[in-house]
Amino acid sequence: MANLKCASQQLFSRPNDERFESLEALISHCSRVKDESNIHWRLPTEITPCPVGLDLGLQIGGNGVHTFNDWSFGQTCSIAEVHKETVNRLGTDTASRVLRETLPIGGKPLQLLTQGDVLRSIHGAAYTRLFDVDLLEVVRNEADGFHAPPQGFNGATGFYAGQQDMFAFLIDDSAWVEIGGEQFAPGFFVWNSEVGRRTLGIETFWFQHICANHIVWDAIEIVRFSRKHTAKVGDALDDVQAIIARLIRTRNQRKDAFAKSIEKAMETSLGSTAEEATKALSGHGLSAGLVKSAIESIVTNGGKFSVFHAVDAMTRLTGRLTNAGDRIEQDARIGTLLSLAV
């Protein structure tokens, strides 16, 4: 089993204005960004660095002057093969002249992504863009039953988008199932960048616990897929769709199997008396005190001496334990009792 820290890293790195309360809010934001963005193809000779007041910008052909953000400025310096830190130390007149003299001159066009009067990114012809909203639409359409994780530290939601990339974290905590005698639920991460900051990707998994730092604990069956933003990156949407569909198919199959096992557990008797039930529960690594308390709870509530009622009573009792380690250990042992159902 593995502990996944991707969502936790997002939690601690994202400012408040890059957090969104729901998948729908994130989709709405990304849709607006796409609508407000424009892609320009220009030859290097049509791109001219120039001062914009105290800032630095680019004259993009006949489309006006656009200022840099931190990401597009770094990209431009990289294309010009000059150190970003060096250019940052120069005045705007000198910096614009340096970039004019170092940006390549050739016959291959560059693609520039703008939003309003800001240059979001600059790439060569090999880069193929996929907008965040196009990926998130696939998630919304396919991920039936999945939703935000429990709210994390500092109000973290699991849904993020900023100038450079997007990240979303979804789970289905209504789908707890038993795998190898332990309880797991499905979840996944999905990410993308419209400006070349990172790949497009998805990671699915089954987990046991998510803490307030959004670390995913004890994950199994981890499936990771990513695609660079090159030709036919749009085909990756079909792959993402198939991966989510596979996770949902597995979830549904396991939920059905788990429901059947619970039904059997409700039908399987441990005995007709408290003494017989107590004897049947011995030898499974459970403390005598826990077994006694569970039997007393069943009698008090008028329940049956079935495997299900014993498991339910014990789980309620261990829920009162203050030590998480003791609680997890006891719950794992209790889970093995379902094997008594025949």
- Residue 116 to residue 203: CA distance in whole angstroms: 33
In the predicted structure, residue 301 carries a pLDDT above the cut 60: yes
Q: Which two structure tokens, joined as six digits, stand for 333?
A: 């042992």
The radius of gyration of the chain's CA atoms, rounded to the nearest angstrom, is: 28
What integer pLDDT is reported at residue 4 of this predicted model?
A: 94
Three-class secondary structure of residue 6 per DSSP:
helix
Element (H or E) spanning 267, and its range? helix 236-267
Q: What's the rounded mean pLDDT across residues 11-31?
A: 95
Each residue's pLDDT tens digit, 169-206: 999 988 888 776 678 899 999 999 999 999 999 999 99
239-295 pLDDT per residue, tens: 999 999 999 999 988 887 766 777 778 888 888 888 888 888 887 778 888 888 888
